[in-house]
Amino acid sequence: MSQHRRHRAPARGPRHRKALAGGAFAVTVGLGVGLGVWAWGGDGSPAGSARHASGAADSSPASPGASPSPTRSYPLSEAPRTIPAVRSHTAARGPGWRPAHGERVVVSDASLADEGRLIAGELGLTYAGEKNDVRAGDVRLALGGGQGGDPESYTMTVRGGRVEISGPADAGVFYGTRTLKQEVHGGGTAPEGVVHDAPAKPRRGFMLDIARKPYTAGWIEDRIRELGDLKYNELGLHFSDDQGFRIESDSHPEIVSKDHLTKAQVKQIVDLAAGRHITVVPEIDSPGHLGAVIAAHPDLQLRNAQGVATRGAVDISKGGSAAIVDDLLAEYAGLFPGGQWHLGGDEYQALTVRDPEASYPQLAAAARKAHGSGATVADLTTDWLNDRAATVRDHDRTPRAWNDGFFRDSSVRPAGDMVVAYWTGKELGARQPAEYLAAGRKVLNYNDEFLYYVLGEPQTFVYPTGQRIYEQWTPRVLRGTQAVPARYDSQILGGSFAVWSDLAGAQTQDQVAAGIRMPLRATAQKLWDSGQPALSWAQFKDLANRLG
């Protein structure tokens, strides 16, 4: 399976073009149905002549040069009903396509074998591999076409009793198979016509805190299958925090919690995700949220001027703190092969007090030694984050960090390629998202007002609802409920729904799965197409229930 690259999706085209050609009507629509007429295929053959309304295949195609003859009457097809909704559908008249025993999935390129086998198994078809012949009922997967070279775009054509899904890369073809799967599961038949589809945002994620609450490998794998069908392409794993370190380690086994995932289990998770074009993005949060590391290395714990230990924070003036974190980053680079890495950087307790330099004189002294007489604890902390970014960059990863790990008044500037994971505006000196965007930063949307599912609803958090996300949130709503100006849209790479396990016992993992079901679907819709949805919330919810 080739690794897919991310590109910004092209602008959406007009949604209401009409064309009359070859005796067949084609209308680009959102949803709707036309009047019945005699229908003819674009190749001169009767539309639907190869497959009838019952879905049975016609095994005797018309001879070359034969004159077309009228078929039964079909209404103009409706757009597919899927989550997320397709961006464009050109309607046609015909019976559509439904799977039947013995029919084939074929591919035009060997690199699409994984996609072909998966959809064949899901629809009860036979995977026949690379084939050049054409049979009634075929589903053909092919490379080529797409929208502006976007590797996540695809075209799906349902015509003449067959389906062809094509895209410039295997990722787009995979997403086309997700559309086909949902069409069949939701209504039994893929409607006649042509779908052109591509995501609005290149990063569509789900983040899971397994540090505070361990989740079984099987539960995580079930979420990956769910995410793949919804066209998500990132799974974030926050596996280190004060409450636990949840993945086996060879370099520092002393920090690993009793209840953890083995590397073999993680590899299986990563491989399953890759098969569904999902990149697993690891997060070892530092220099705060390292309580599990400190428990095994108490000498690294940050202490204030009075000698009082600071919870979860390592002393970044000590070389041993950087050494152990870099050991871990290097070790797990081999386990997580994707191109992204989350460095955390949030809630370093030394910077949550009014006078960090007075409260933590050892940090102030280290800052002045490294960066000059006017340097601050914020400078030292920014330098720490830059050093960790350099470590993951050496492994060809793009770093990201929480927005409260970026500081306004530091003379040391955060690395230019560091992506801002914007989640809050509650920290001291909080800045509006537009400040990061105006500085040219790329931003990911983790808005805690809409996208944070925090177990037990501590502090001011409440469980987010799918309806609120669906009706009020877009990727431009980065903080609170206000959208940033449209001119920044291209800098917002996408977003992520997040489950945080602050009160781990508040819900079982099955309750979490049920609680996030509709929020995940609503988020998927708004990341794929941030415009006003065609369906009402009630219709969207009914569709989700029908699709399963």
Cite the active site residues: 347
CA 328/CA 256 separation, integer angstroms: 11
Strand arrangement of the beta sheet that strand 24-29 belongs to: 18-21, 24-29, 88-91, 193-197, 154-159, 162-167, 139-143, 104-107, 126-130
Residue 64: Cβ-neighbour burial (10 angstroms; 0-12, 13-18, 19+): exposed
8 Å CB contact between 455 and 437: no
CA 124/CA 39 separation, integer angstroms: 29
Peptide bond into 84 cis (omega under 30): yes
CA 301/CA 309 separation, integer angstroms: 7
Structure tokens at 500: 């945080």
Phi/psi of residue 358, each to 5°?
-75, -40
Determine if residue 68 is left, alpha or beta; phi over 0 gives left, psi from -120 to 50 gives alpha, anything else beta.
Answer: beta
CA 320/CA 318 separation, integer angstroms: 5
Give which of 374, 439, 373, 375 is closest to 406, Cα–Cα: 439
Q: State how far Cα 422 lies from the chain centre.
A: 16
Type of residue found at 481: T
- Using DSSP's 3-state secondary structure scheme, residue 141 falls into strand
Residue 217: Cβ-neighbour burial (10 angstroms; 0-12, 13-18, 19+): middle
Phi/psi of residue 335, each to 5°?
-90, -30
Type of residue found at 206: F
List the Cα angle 228/399/212 in 5-degree steps: 65
- Residue 347 CB: number of other CB atoms within 10 A? 18
Question: Token match 């004159």: residue?
Answer: 67
CA 157/CA 88 separation, integer angstroms: 12
Phi/psi of residue 481, each to 5°?
-120, 5
What is the DSSP pairing of strand 193-197 with strand 88-91?
antiparallel
Q: State how far Cα 3 lies from the chain centre.
A: 15
